């Protein structure tokens, strides 16, 4: 269970990073940029370590919390970029 909680959280961090660096600039008509919020990377790594430790104590809770983090990273907007779902719909022309 520890690997699944950490894996879900790493997926959420990857989605947030891709949204900041790729989806948001392309959705606004720009190009892919290297100027993004770099603090997402260490925050994702520390969060995955914390959830890995939490899954030793309460595995069901850790997996549920990681799943909620993944869902919220898809639907909510963090930072300067909009949510990945809205940026993807702008990129597709909807």
* pLDDT tens-digit series, residues 34-92: 778 889 999 999 999 999 999 999 999 999 999 999 999 999 987 778 899 998 888 88
| pLDDT value at residue 2 | 58
Instruction: Answer whether residue 3 shows pLDDT above 80.
Output: no
**pLDDT per position as a tens digit, 12-22:** 999 999 898 88
User: What band does 1 get if pLDDT is binned at 50, 70 and 90?
Assistant: low
| pLDDT value at residue 29 | 82
Handedness of CA 67, 8, 88, 76 (dihedral sign): positive
Instruction: Answer whether residue 7 shows pLDDT above 80.
Output: yes
Could you give the angle at the alpha carbon of 13 between the alpha carbons of 7 and 18, nearest 5°? Answer: 125
Handedness of CA 23, 24, 30, 32 (dihedral sign): negative
């Amino acid at each position: 269970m520890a690997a699944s909680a950490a894996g879900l959280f790493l997926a959420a961090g990857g989605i947030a990073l891709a949204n900041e660096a790729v989806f948001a600039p392309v959705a606004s008509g720009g190009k892919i940029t290297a100027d993004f919020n770099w603090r997402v990377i260490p925050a994702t790594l520390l969060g995955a370590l914390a959830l890995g430790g939490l899954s030793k104590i309460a595995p069901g809770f850790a997996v549920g919390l990681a799943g909620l983090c993944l869902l919220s990273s898809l639907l909510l907007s963090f930072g300067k970029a909009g949510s990945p779902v809205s940026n993807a719909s702008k990129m597709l022309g909807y």
